[in-house]
């Protein structure tokens, strides 16, 4: 059963859940709240939420950690979104025909990530590893209980063995890994450790910490800048002129105000642009010495040829990117709209190259 992404946008209604599950109702306080210090109550909450929202049936041992369902589900949603925006088609949409294989390192007794992933996406499969025999026993039973034996492969590993044991799992490659290691072997150990800490955990995301110097942060994989002073059509025209002048592959679709491009190297530097200009001049000068091709050799389907050329360039690409032009409503004036250019890193390994490209596009468009 595929749950809605907004399933846990609001807090869980304990009283409504209690009406559906008598086993949970007996743990509810008179004021309708749950005692989260009671392991049995927390475990029953997890089991009932999995049953109600995903049609998943699980059994959990009392001496192993119990995973919070909303937190784990949000993690799966994040992975789904990440995969949907990094597909080979770059469509930014869920492809129901795409086969995906994930690896859950330290899956635990619940095996909750593979179970949620398989419940959400019919073509997802998982490898799941753990070093604890009891956790593996329960995980194996939970997999069988939900009829996922053909989609989730369980493997016992050792601390000395490979962290990503593809060969032992019978896998050639995987699309993603999940690792949420149990920092505590039991609830008692977790509570005991908490009493020794002098301050509570600090979990704020680094990018939202004002005191952290910007130069210590990695360049983002999505770069956005404002161009409200220019109409969207003008921005699109200037963007196409700019990228068409460079030695790279670029396709823009006006209907969605977005385009995708690929470069085999830094072709926007002064040296690269100078070299390209010289090459073009040489081609012009050689035209008179080159025999014209026969008309039968000309491409009959220009669009197909362009797609094939784009595909061949992707094989040796150093940078893949997507540029979108968005109309946005200005926060300071709700009646006024602005224009935002968003550049997303699709492919490549060099962050410096992407950062350089973003800086070049921003400078050229802003003028």
What is 160-171 written as a DSSP string?
TS-SS-HHHHT-
* Residue that is written with structure tokens 């926007």 in the block: 268
Task: Give the pair of three-digit tokens for residue 329.
Answer: 């409503």
Neighbours of 263 (CB within 10 A): 24
Low-confidence ranges of the chain (pLDDT < 50): 198-208, 294, 296, 299-303, 305-306
CA–CA distance, 51 with 27 (Å, rounded to integer): 17
CA–CA separation, 269 and 155 (whole Å): 50
Radius of gyration of the chain (CA): 27
How far is residue 157's CA from residue 136's CA, in Å, rounded to a whole number?
A: 10
Asked if residue 75 lies in contact with residue 169, where contact means CB atoms within 8 angstroms, the answer is no
pLDDT digits (tens, 9 = 90+) for 304-355: 544 555 555 555 789 999 999 988 776 655 566 788 999 999 888 899 999 9
Compute the distance between CA of residue 254 and CA of residue 80 in angstroms, rounded to an integer: 27
**Cβ neighbours around 305 below 10 Å, total:** 12
Are 343 and 361 in contact by the 8 Å Cβ rule? The answer is yes
CA torsion sign, 82 to 87 to 90 to 94?
A: negative
pLDDT at 213 (0 to 100): 62
Task: Provide the pLDDT for residue 282.
Answer: 59
Residue that has been written with the tokens 């039968």 in this structure: 296
pLDDT for the residue 205: 40
Task: State the pLDDT at residue 185.
Answer: 63
What's the first-to-final CA gap in the chain, in angstroms?
51
- What pLDDT score was predicted for residue 236? 93
Q: How far is CA 19 from CA 9, 52, 104, 115, 246, in A?
A: 21, 12, 34, 25, 64
293 SS3 class: coil
Neighbouring CB atoms inside 10 A of 44's CB total: 22
Closest CA to 101 of 124, 78, 83: 124
What was the pLDDT predicted at 119?
A: 96
Residues 171, 148: Cα–Cα separation, whole Å: 17
Whether the CB-CB separation of 323 and 341 falls below 8 Å is answered with: yes
At residue 297, the pLDDT reads 53
Whole-number pLDDT of residue 302: 46
Can you give the pTM of this predicted structure?
A: 0.69
Residue 256, CA distances (Å) to 169, 274, 324 in order = 42, 33, 8
Backbone angles phi, psi at 101, to 5 degrees: -125, 125
Specify the length of the chain in residues. Answer: 367
């Amino acid at each position: 059963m595929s749950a809605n992404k907004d399933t846990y946008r609001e807090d869980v209604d304990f009283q409504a859940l209690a009406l559906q599950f008598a086993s949970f109702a007996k743990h509810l306080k008179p004021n309708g709240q749950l005692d989260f210090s009671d392991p049995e109550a927390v475990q029953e909450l997890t089991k009932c939420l999995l049953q109600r929202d995903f049609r998943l049936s699980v059994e959990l041992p009392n001496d192993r950690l119990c995973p919070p369902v909303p937190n784990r589900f949000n993690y799966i949603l994040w992975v789904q979104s990440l995969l949907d925006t990094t597909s080979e088609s770059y469509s930014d949409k869920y492809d129901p025909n795409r086969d995906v294989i994930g690896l859950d390192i330290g899956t635990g007794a619940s095996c909750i990530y593979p179970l949620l992933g398989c419940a959400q996406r019919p073509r997802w499969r998982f490898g799941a590893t753990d070093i604890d025999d009891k956790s593996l026993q329960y995980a194996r039973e939970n997999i069988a209980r939900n009829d996922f034996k053909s989609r989730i492969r369980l493997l016992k590993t050792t601390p000395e063995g490979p962290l990503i044991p593809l060969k032992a799992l019978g896998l050639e490659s995987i699309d993603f890994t999940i690792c949420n290691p149990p920092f505590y072997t039991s609830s008692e150990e977790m509570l005991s450790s908490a009493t020794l800490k002098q301050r509570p955990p600090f979990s704020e995301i680094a990018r939202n910490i004002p005191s952290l110097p910007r130069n210590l942060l990695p360049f983002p994989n999505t770069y956005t800048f404002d161009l409200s002073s220019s109409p969207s059509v003008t921005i699109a025209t200037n963007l196409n002129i700019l990228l068409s002048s460079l030695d790279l592959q670029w396709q823009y679709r006006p209907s969605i105000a977005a385009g995708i491009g690929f470069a085999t190297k830094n072709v926007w530097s002064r040296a690269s642009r100078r070299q390209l200009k010289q090459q073009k001049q040489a081609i012009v000068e050689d035209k008179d010495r080159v025999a014209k091709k026969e008309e039968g050799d000309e491409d009959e389907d220009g669009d197909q040829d362009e797609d094939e050329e784009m595909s061949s360039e992707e094989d040796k690409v150093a940078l893949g990117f997507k540029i979108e032009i968005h109309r946005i409503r200005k926060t300071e004036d709700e009646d006024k709209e602005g224009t935002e250019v968003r550049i997303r890193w699709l492919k490549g390994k060099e962050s410096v190259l992407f950062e350089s490209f973003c800086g070049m596009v921003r400078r050229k468009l802003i003028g």
